[in-house]
Chains A and B, each alone.
Chain A
Amino acid sequence: NAGVTQTPKFQVLKTGQSMTLQCAQDMNHEYMSWYRQDPGMGLRLIHYSVGAGITDQGEVPNGYNVSRSTTEDFPLRLLSAAPSQTSVYFCASSYLTSGSTGELFFGEGSRLTVL
C-alpha cells in the first residue's frame, strides 16, 4: 500500500533557485493539500485542491505554486526559493464524497533547506 508518496525526502537549495516537490497518491482521493511544518507553529496549509484542474490558496500561499492535472498528482513549486521557505513539507489527501469522514492521509514529509 503506497498511500501518499512524496519526493524528494531531503533537498538543499540556494536562494533564488527553483524546485518542485512531488506528491502522488494511489487512493483515488479527490482532495489533496500541502502543509508546511515549522517549530512551534504546527502545520499550516499552503495550497489545496478538490479535484483535477481545481486549486485554491490556503493560509500561507505566497512563494508557492501548485497545479492538479491528474487526480493522483499534486506538485508544489517554489519559483524562487527564500530562506524563509526552509521547512518540512507534508502532502495530505482525503476523500470528499458525502459521508466520508474527511480523514487526511499524510506523506512522510520533505525536508527543504534554503541557504
Chain B
Amino acid sequence: AQSVTQPDIHITVSEGASLELRCNYSYGATPYLFWYVQSPGQGLQLLLKYFSGDTLVQGIKGFEAEFKRSQSSFNLRKPSVHWSDAAEYFCARQGTGRRALTFGSGTRLQVQP
C-alpha cells in the first residue's frame, strides 16, 4: 500500500533560522506529491505540489520543496522562518488516476522568538 512518512513529529526552530521538514513516500510510479499546512483550529491549506517536470517546486509563503526520486523524498524547506509559520505540516501523495490523498502523520512546527 502507498504510504507517506514524516519522521519528525515535532520541530522547534528560532525565528529567522532555516527550516527543513522531511517527507518520504513508498516506492511506486511517480507520485503526485503535496505539502499542506494547518494552523490551529483551521482546515488545511495547500503550500505546494509536484506532478512532473522541475524537481524543485515553489509554493506560497516562501516555501519550496525538492522531489528526489532516488531517495523517495519530498522535503519542504524555507530559508528564514517567521513566527507565523508555527503550524502543523502534512505531506501527502496521490496515486495516479485517483484523487484520494494518503497523508503523513504530520510535523508540528514551533517557532521560538
A41–B9 Cα distance when bound, in Å, is: 11
B-side binding surface: helix, strand, loop or mixed?
strand
A31–B94 Cα distance when bound, in Å, is: 14
Given contacts A42-B90, A106-B44, contact A94 B105 (CB under 8 A): no
Interface centre among A31, A33, A41, A103 (most CB of B within 10 A): A103
Given contacts A42-B105, A42-B106, A107-B43, contact A94 B51 (CB under 8 A): no
* Chain A positions 53-100 with a Cβ under 8 Å from a chain B Cβ: 58, 90, 92, 94, 96
Residues of A within 8 A of B44 (CB): 43, 90, 92, 104, 106
Interface size class, chain A: 20 to 34
- A90 adjacent to B51 (CB under 8 Å): no
Interface size of B by Cβ–Cβ distance < 8 Å? 22
* Chain A positions 25-51 with a Cβ under 8 Å from a chain B Cβ: 31, 33, 35, 40-45, 48, 50
A102–B92 Cα distance when bound, in Å, is: 12
Given contacts A103-B49, A106-B43, contact A42 B100 (CB under 8 A): no
- Closest approach, in angstroms, between the C-beta of A101 and any C-beta of chain B? 7
Residues of A within 8 A of B9 (CB): 40
- Mask of B87-112 contacts with A, CB within 8 angstroms, 1/0: 00010001000011101111000000
- A42 adjacent to B103 (CB under 8 Å): yes
A101–B43 Cα distance when bound, in Å, is: 20
Is B32 located at the chain interface by the 8 A CB criterion? yes
Question: Of A96, A107, A108, which is within 8 A of B99 by CB?
Answer: A96
Is B46 located at the chain interface by the 8 A CB criterion? yes
A104–B51 Cα distance when bound, in Å, is: 14
A41–B94 Cα distance when bound, in Å, is: 17
* Chain B positions 27-59 with a Cβ under 8 Å from a chain A Cβ: 32, 34, 36, 41-46, 49, 51
- In addition to A90-B43, A102-B99, A104-B46, 10 A-B residue pairs with Cβ atoms within 8 Å of each other are A31-B99, A33-B99, A40-B106, A42-B105, A42-B106, A50-B99, A104-B99, A106-B36, A106-B45, A108-B42
Report A's interface with B, CB cutoff 8 A: 4, 31, 33, 35, 40-45, 48, 50, 58, 90, 92, 94, 96, 101-104, 106-109
